[in-house]
Amino acid sequence: MTRVEIVKNLMEHILALGLEIELVVLDAGFYSVDVINYLSRFNYIIAVPVEKVGKHRNFDGEYTVKSSGKKATFWLIVHHGREKKYLAKGTNLDVNRSIVIK
What pLDDT shows up at residue 6? 96
How far, in Å, CA of 54 to CA of 12, rounded?
A: 33
The answer to whether the pTM exceeds 0.85 is no
Residue 67: closest CA among 48, 52, 88? 52
pLDDT in tens, 23-41: 899 998 999 999 999 999 8
Residue 37: closest CA among 60, 8, 76? 8
What pLDDT shows up at residue 56? 66
For residue 52, what are the β-bridge partners? none
